[in-house]
Amino acid sequence: METSLGNKTFTIDLNTNPSLHNINRSLVPHEMLDEELIRTREENKKLATMLKTLCENYNSLQTHLIELLQKYSTHEDYNSKLLFSRKRKSEDLCCVNNSDINFEEASPKRPREITTNISTVWVKTTPSDQTSVVKDGYNWRKYGQKVTRDNPSPRAYYKCSFAPTCQVKKKVQRSAKDPSVLAATYEGEHNHPYPSQAKLAVPLVNQGVTTDPRSLNKFMKDINTNSIQQHLVEQMASSLTKNPSFAATVAAAISGDFFCNMI
């Protein structure tokens, strides 16, 4: 299998050997079992190597996908209107620039807020999913909800609850254009380690997330068609189904305690 995205080429070798399944029927059952056990172990090793390669290539593709999505950001300007529509000019500016901002003046009645690292992610959800939850691995406590003027869907306000001193806030609202898309705006920087690293990497891409705040129009096209994701899935599926021994190999691997060998 060969997938080419831009100037990067990824190769996944799924060349399992069908002949491994041809059991020498002239042997007595005991020898047969020994021979098959050895074969199974060899296949397990092969599959482990294949899976490792697959994961590495997937990670490379994922990295490349994020790079592509970030490239869109230099040409698009969308979400500042959606999430910071008209009030608080200083915050609008903050969002448009998408960079570190320290407010020069604070409200006389409220403690001065230092808002840094504002970023927005867009999450494609299933039409049946009516919740406003963006699973990013952090723990959030909801402290408010508002219906905004330019969007019928309510905007939910969250604070990071993983660490008491963490001041990171998150706003989640469904897109007015496509209700199946959730927009999550993060303000601030977590001052604690990521609570569950394993939960983050794959789901973000699988859900169709861009870390870029100004790339909705182009990214929405990708979301709607799932073009990039679908391309990858189709390539992988095609590669797998073309290999006649794949199903048998997987079955043999599972029955041979494949996952124990992986660990």
Partner DNA sequence: CGCTTTTGACCAGCGC
Partner DNA sequence: GCGCTGGTCAAAAGCG
Which residues of this chain interact with DNA, rule CB under 7 A? Answer: 83-91, 107-110, 113, 139-150, 155-157, 161, 169, 171
In the complex, what is the shortest distance from the CB of residue 203 to DNA, in angstroms, rounded to a whole number?
18
Q: Between 188 and 208, name the residue whose CB sits nearer to DNA.
A: 188
Find where tokens 């909705």 sit. 216
Of 102, 122, 121, 123, which is closest to residue 113 (Cα–Cα)?
Answer: 102
Using the minimum distance from each CB to DNA, give the nearer residue, 26 or 165: 165
Question: φ, ψ for residue 8 (rounded to 5)?
Answer: -110, 135
- Of 253, 242, 257, 261, give the one whose Cα is nearest residue 14: 242
Q: Whole-number minimum distance, CB 231 to DNA, in Å?
A: 35
Q: What are phi and psi of 119, to 5 degrees?
A: -145, 155
Q: And the tokens for 47?
A: 């599959």
Q: How far is the CB of 111 from DNA (least distance, A)?
A: 8
Q: Which is nearer to DNA, 90 or 239 (CB)?
A: 90
CA distance 138 to 140: 6
Helix, strand or coil for residue 38? helix
Nearest partner of 183 among 96, 88, 80, 69, judged by Cα: 80
Q: Which two tokens stand for residue 174?
A: 């469904």
Q: Which is nearer to DNA, 57 or 151 (CB)?
A: 151
Question: 25 or 109: whose CB is closer to DNA?
Answer: 109
CB of 217 to DNA, least distance (A): 21
Which residues make Cβ contacts (< 8 Å) with residue 232, sequence separation at least 6? Answer: 3, 61
Of 157 and 246, the one with the shorter C-beta distance to DNA is: 157
Question: Using an 8 Å Cβ cutoff, are 229 and 204 in contact?
Answer: no
- Minimum distance, C-beta of residue 163 to DNA, in the bound complex (Å): 12
CB of 145 to DNA, least distance (A): 3
